[in-house]
Structure 1
Amino acid sequence: MIPQLRSITVVCALGAALAACGTGDPAGSVRQTPAKSPVPASRPPVLTPGPGGLTPVFAHGPRTLGKTVALTFDADMTADEGPRAAAGEHFDNPDLIGTLRRLKVPATIFMTGRWADEYPTEARSLGHDPQFEVANHSYSHYAFTSDCYGLPTVDPGKMRSDVERAYASLHNAGVPHALPYFRFPGGCYDQRALRALSGLGVTAVQWDVVSGDAFATDADAVTRQVLDGVKPGSVVVMHCTRSAAPTTERVVRAVVPELRKRGYRFVKVSELIGETSGHR
């Protein structure tokens, strides 16, 4: 069952224990001082805040500016999953990242700070590869609302600091310019969560195509769901981990050539946001 997006109160779209990305081309890890701001010097495009500076929300790009689509991958690792990683569970997926590189597909990776702490070499490699852009998926992967697929919840007074801590972890892992885009864990948010992040300068990034790859075992079914859902300007949410999203690499191998055959061009989320902010 694919949950539908709900406006105003809470927007949720994914299961909770979703997992993460890795890289088939690791580089040496570099430790740096924590970032003080999520916005790099190049100033990537963001949406205008709402009334009272409310954090803006982006779900898809313009439908009328050509056949573009953004593949996004959540690099999930919840703060309390360290023992599972120590026991051998893989929250990364080097094969998937290698396939994206081989197919020359740009992508946006929403990375938790806890994941960057666990896999600093992969985080740095992704952060230095111009084919990818890395954005914020919280530090803890705890929910910013109650009743979000069983995830533990972040105290409202700590929501902002959880996002700031994630940026610090990404920077410490060697990601030089994490983008000012934030994806809520589980896709769940409400007005209180948007207010808590006001002033950070981030755009909250959702999606309009749920791939259904989390915990899926039927790659063909996930492929059909993506192909049936994509429209011009779409943002597709996917995951990459060898334990919780085992079909994703196969799905990418099937989806990419088919969408290209249909005339689609793959872009990063930043390009869609730039088109949206320029055509409002």
Structure 2
Amino acid sequence: MITRARQRAARASLAALAAAALTALSACASPSTPTRPHSPAPHHSPQKAAPPTLAPGPQGLTPVFKNAPRAKQGAPTVALTFDADMTAGQGPRARAGERFDNPALVDTLRRLDVPATFFMTGRWAEEYPAQARAIGRDPLFEVANHSYSHYSFTRDCYGLPTVAPHRMRADVERAFAAFRRAGVEHPVPYFRFPGGCYDQRALRALAPAGVTAVQWDVVGGDAFATDPRAVARQVLDGVRPGSVVVLHCTRSAAPATERALRTIVPKLRERGFRFVRVSEQIGAARAPKEGRAA
């Protein structure tokens, strides 16, 4: 009797163990159970802060930025900007072999580790989408708007064709759309008027676009220049703390720019200048005003 009782108890224990094992196996096979327990939760990087812009001007006009404050504390800053110009009518010239891009210039900026802002026309982004995308995705650079087709927003601007006032905002938005199609995911909300020409009518027309118009205080003088030493000298003579320098990223129209950079960059660094993008210059321009408001 004792032996049979022990046998029944043993069988009961084995049955219980089998049931427990089956339950555990079923739980492991359940689709609702993670296949890799104790995996860390996915990390979501914080969303990138929006680029700074200036407050609207009087009567809500588009604000205009020229240079950052002439700071006397810390390393002086300078922003190199490059206009990537191309008009709607220059497609046949590009197909015939004229180069409106300048990959060597971009490579030199990368090699020298120089942040920069590219003011790009929408037509340029359409002609060179791979280059536009590469510039736009490089954390060293930022892409800003230079209109769709480099038409003037005023009359009598270096002989450029003009954009009708009721088409000005649409022209800017068309350029941003061209950037997105090329793969430039995060262009900055800055706009440079073709030729630097603007008036109150243009500033009023662009106000709904929410952009900050960016001018400059140093003209590089590289348009159609062939002597890189002259371009470098003009930039070096003009730069001050907080300066914005306008240069060009078009091989056919500004063939000396890349070579001039090889002199400009080391010389300014010898003077203690730190290279920044326009967004940092605008942020610096906003800071004193925000401090006074507080």
- Normalising to structure 1: TM-score of the pair? 0.85
- Percent identity at matched positions? 71
Q: Structure 2 matches for 1:156-171, cutoff 5 A?
A: 156-171=165-180
Give me the whole-angstrom Cα distance separating, in 2, the residues matched to 1:120 and 1:234: 30
Kindly state the Cα deviation for residue 42 of structure 1 after the two structures are TM-superposed: 2.8
User: Please, which of 53, 59, 70 is the counterpart of residue 52 of structure 1?
Assistant: 59
What do residues 205-256 of structure 1 show as CA deviations (whole Å, max 9, x unaligned)? 0000001000001111111100000000000000022211000001100000
Q: Equivalent residue for 2:254?
A: 245
One-letter amino acid matched to 1:159: M
Give me the whole-angstrom Cα distance separating, in 2, the residues matched to 1:125 and 1:276: 29
Kindly state the Cα deviation for residue 41 of structure 1 after the two structures are TM-superposed: 6.6
Q: Which has the higher contact order (CA 8 A, sep 6+)?
A: 1
1:233 aligns with 2:242: yes
Q: Equivalent residue for 2:212?
A: 203
Instruction: Structure 1 unaligned segments of length 5 or more: list them.
Output: 1-39
User: Please, which of 198, 208, 230 is the counterpart of residue 189 of structure 1?
Assistant: 198
Q: Equivalent residue for 1:177?
A: 186
Q: Equivalent residue for 1:272?
A: 281
Q: Equivalent residue for 1:43?
A: 50
- Secondary structure (helix, strand or coil) at the match of 1:197 reads helix
Q: Structure 2 matches for 1:80-119, cutoff 5 A?
A: 80-119=89-128
Give me the whole-angstrom Cα distance separating, in 1, the residues matched to 2:113 and 2:159: 36
More deviation in 143-152 or 60-69? 60-69
What do residues 256-277 of structure 1 show as CA deviations (whole Å, max 9, x unaligned)? 0000000000000000000101
Give me the whole-angstrom Cα distance separating, in 1, the residues matched to 2:287 and 2:89: 41
More deviation in 60-69 or 267-276? 60-69
1:67 aligns with 2:89: no
Q: Does the Cα contact within 8 Å between 1:53 and 1:199 map onto a contact in 2?
A: no
Larger radius of gyration: 2
Give me the whole-angstrom Cα distance separating, in 2, the residues matched to 1:68 and 1:139: 30
Q: Equivalent residue for 1:13?
A: none
Kindly state the Cα deviation for residue 50 of structure 1 after the two structures are TM-superposed: 1.1
The runs of 4+ residues in structure 1 deviating greater than 2 Å are none
Give me the whole-angstrom Cα distance separating, in 1, the residues matched to 2:249 and 2:168: 25
Q: CA RMSD in A?
A: 1.1
1:258 aligns with 2:259: no
Kindly state the Cα deviation for residue 161 of structure 1 after the two structures are TM-superposed: 0.2
Q: Structure 2 matches for 1:100-139, cutoff 5 A?
A: 100-139=109-148
| Larger helix share, 1 or 2 | 2
Give me the whole-angstrom Cα distance separating, in 1, the residues matched to 2:253 and 2:59: 39
Instruction: Structure 2 unaligned segments of length 5 or more: list them.
Output: 1-46, 290-294
User: Please, which of 116, 141, 152 is the counterpart of residue 150 of structure 2?
Assistant: 141
Give me the whole-angstrom Cα distance separating, in 2, the residues matched to 1:237 and 1:51: 26
Q: Equivalent residue for 1:151?
A: 160
Give me the whole-angstrom Cα distance separating, in 2, the residues matched to 1:210 and 1:120: 28
Give me the whole-angstrom Cα distance separating, in 2, the residues matched to 1:238 and 1:101: 16
More deviation in 122-131 or 48-57? 48-57
What do residues 21-51 of structure 1 show as CA deviations (whole Å, max 9, x unaligned)? xxxxxxxxxxxxxxxxxxx973210000012
One-letter amino acid matched to 1:243: S
Give me the whole-angstrom Cα distance separating, in 2, the residues matched to 1:169 and 1:177: 12
